[in-house]
């Protein structure tokens, strides 16, 4: 019966997937037009020679932006930005019927009124029209960034908030800065610099984000998320300073907030490395002893340099259903394949890990992320509550995390350090029917936002 259901779902999925993929040139407009003048932008849209005919609609939308800086089309009723170019743009075609191998052009005419300065912004959205019986559609968004020539743009920004996340053992200190573009012109390559200092001005840590690849559009508010890798942070009061700069070093705004540390901070582990040789055993251990990997003799065929370092929670994949992430995470790298013999992984769990488990240490597991399977693998884990240590064995080097889960078998031993025998656990694979059903529900509309830079 399950096979029959699976076949039906496969057929259903084949029906909802469109057979045509859009291609387009002219995926971005960045040009200068004088106030009271006009300009044009031509887009060429088509489908491949071996694909089906496709109907598309072309619509001028407002230029919205999410906190993550992604461009978001706005309907006319929601397009309230005073720097919108939406109402200044007209199209010579609002709908096309595309014949395979025969591209067509759409020209947007941009007519600016007099008396304006800075920049004006819009998004042109090109949507495929699903054929009968299909649910999946494709959308391509064309950013329009107009510079009003002959005027001096106002480059300005205001930090509307700086939020320092709760201090988590073994994790960097996360700082979120909200910035609003308060000028009348966009800017690229924006950088957020953050630092933490004590009352005397001593700097405990500082960092800088990578330059933003997305333009920040006037009137929109975006967020920068930075991390401070603090080595030590004694109990006391501190200031966290956030500064946002343009690519040429112009400071848009800066703001400081107070931050109190009420208990000793446990920093992320320092990076550790070891050369694992086939003829001898090796131990890879962080300087503070919180993380270690013991490789037996014969674990590798040839010498391999293996590294262990902290891994930010912000970069972790979501925990599987029925489980949740603890706060300790790290990466073991250096080997492209699997070990010949299992290594032993020891992790000292933190009070934050224990709190995530509701105080029940038996729920703490060690898990690694299997990139090939795109899934977490939760391993049988031995818990020593006396030494607050988690132990497991593995032949897989990857990104690791402490996980809170009742799956697999955990052996809990009080203060004893005697190793318990390893117990294996098999996780049942997710049925194909569930995968296909989830895919059918989740993949309804796929949107491809084309956001090329200068």
Convert the pLDDT of each residue in 356-367 to its tens digit. 999 999 999 999
The segment(s) of the chain belonging to CATH 2.60.40.10 are 2-152+441-449
At 363 the pLDDT is: 95
Burial pattern 377-406, b for ≥16 Cβ within 10 A else e, equals: bbbbbbbbbebbbbbbbbebbbbbbbbbbe
Which two structure tokens, joined as six digits, stand for 157?
A: 């920004």
Residue 423: per-residue pLDDT:
32
Q: 411: pLDDT confidence band, cut at 50, 70 and 90?
A: low
User: For 92-108, what is the mean pLDDT?
Assistant: 95
- List pLDDT tens digits, range 16-43: 344 457 889 999 999 999 999 999 999 9
pLDDT in the model for residue 13: 38
Closest CA relative to residue 39, chosen from 144, 125, 187, 140: 144
What is the chain's mean pLDDT, rounded?
85
Per-residue pLDDT band at 336 (split at 50, 70, 90): confident
Distances (CA, A) of 320 to 369, 375, 409, 420: 11, 8, 17, 26
Give the model's pLDDT for residue 315.
86
Confidence of residue 284 (pLDDT cuts 50, 70, 90): very high
Q: What are phi and psi of 261, to 5 degrees?
A: -105, 115
446-450 contacts, C-beta under 8 A, 24 or more apart: 446/136, 446/137, 446/138, 446/139, 447/138, 447/139, 447/141, 448/138, 448/139, 448/140, 448/141, 449/70, 449/71, 449/139, 449/140, 449/141, 450/24, 450/27, 450/28, 450/140, 450/141, 450/142, 450/143
pLDDT above 70 for 146 = yes
What's the CA gap between 113 and 102, in Å, rounded?
Answer: 36
pLDDT band of 412, cuts 50, 70, 90: low
CA gap 237, 227 in Å, rounded: 19
pLDDT of 370 > 60? The answer is yes
pLDDT at 22: 85
CATH label, 157-261, candidates 2.60.40.3080, 3.40.50.80, 2.60.40.2550, 3.20.20.140: 2.60.40.2550
Taking the C-alpha atoms of residue 446 and residue 63, their distance in angstroms, rounded to an integer, is 19
Task: Summarize the confidence of residues 97-115 as an average pLDDT.
Answer: 96
> Domain 272-423 belongs to what topology?
Chondroitinase Ac; Chain A, domain 3 (2.60.220)
Distance (Å, rounded) from C-alpha 227 to C-alpha 243? 14
pLDDT of residue 445 exceeding 70: no
Q: Given pLDDT bands bounded at 50, 70 and 90, which one contains residue 96? A: very high
Confidence of residue 435 (pLDDT cuts 50, 70, 90): very low
Please choose, from the candidates 99, 97, 96, 95, the residue with its C-alpha nearest in 3D space to the C-alpha of residue 49.
Answer: 99
Taking residues 59-65, report their average pLDDT.
97
Judged against a pLDDT cut of 80, whether residue 342 lies above it is answered with yes
Q: What is the pLDDT of residue 408?
A: 64
Domain 2-152+441-449: CATH superfamily, name plus number = Immunoglobulins (2.60.40.10)
> For 191-237, how does the pLDDT look when each residue is reduced to its tens digit (9 = 90+)?
999 999 998 889 999 999 999 999 999 999 999 999 998 888 888 89
From-to residues of CATH 2.60.220.30 in the chain: 272-423
What is the location of CATH 2.60.40.2550 in the chain?
157-261
């Amino acid at each position: 019966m399950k096979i029959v259901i699976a076949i039906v779902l496969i057929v259903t999925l084949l029906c909802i997937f469109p057979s045509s993929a859009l291609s387009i040139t002219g995926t971005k407009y960045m040009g200068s037009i004088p106030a009271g003048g006009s300009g044009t932008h031509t887009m060429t849209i088509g489908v491949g020679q071996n694909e089906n005919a496709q109907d598309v609609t072309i619509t001028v939308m407002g230029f919205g932006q999410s906190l993550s800086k992604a461009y978001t089309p706005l309907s006319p009723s929601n397009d309230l930005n005073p720097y919108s170019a939406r109402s200044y743009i007209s199209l010579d075609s609002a709908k096309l019927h595309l014949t395979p191998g025969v591209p067509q052009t759409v020209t947007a005419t941009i007519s600016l009124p007099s008396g304006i300065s800075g920049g004006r912004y819009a998004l042109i959205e090109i949507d495929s029209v699903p054929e009968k019986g299909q649910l999946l559609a494709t959308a391509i968004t064309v950013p329009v960034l107009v510079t009003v020539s002959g005027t001096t743009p106002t480059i300005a920004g205001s930090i509307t908030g700086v939020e320092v996340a709760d201090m988590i053992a073994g994790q960097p200190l996360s700082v979120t800065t909200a910035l609003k573009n308060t000028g009348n012109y966009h800017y690229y390559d924006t950088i957020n610099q953050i630092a933490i200092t004590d009352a005397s001005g001593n700097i405990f840590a500082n960092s800088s984000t990578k330059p933003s690849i997305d333009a920040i559009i006037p009137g929109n508010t975006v967020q920068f998320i930075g991390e401070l890798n603090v080595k030590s942070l004694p109990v006391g009061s501190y200031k966290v300073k956030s500064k946002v700069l343009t690519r040429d070093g112009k400071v848009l705004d800066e703001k400081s907030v107070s931050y109190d540390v009420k208990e000793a901070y446990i920093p992320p582990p320092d990076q550790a490395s070891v050369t694992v040789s086939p003829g001898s055993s090796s131990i890879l251990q962080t300087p503070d002893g919180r993380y270690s990997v013991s490789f037996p003799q014969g674990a590798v065929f040839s010498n391999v340099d293996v590294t262990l370092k902290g891994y930010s929670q912000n970069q972790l994949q979501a925990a599987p259903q029925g489980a949740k992430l603890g706060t300790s995470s790290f990466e073991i790298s250096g080997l492209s394949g699997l070990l010949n013999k299992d290594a032993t992984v020891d992790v000292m769990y933190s009070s934050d890990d224990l709190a995530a488990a509701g105080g029940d240490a038996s729920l703490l597991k060690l898990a690694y992320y299997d990139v090939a399977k795109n899934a977490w693998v939760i391993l049988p884990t031995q818990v020593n509550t006396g030494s607050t240590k988690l132990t497991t064995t593995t032949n897989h080097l990857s990104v690791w995390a402490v996980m809170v889960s009742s799956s697999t078998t955990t052996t809990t031993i009080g203060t004893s350090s005697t190793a318990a025998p390893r117990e294996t656990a098999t996780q049942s694979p997710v049925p194909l029917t569930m995968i296909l059903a989830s895919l059918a529900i989740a993949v309804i509309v796929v949107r491809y936002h084309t956001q090329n830079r200068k």
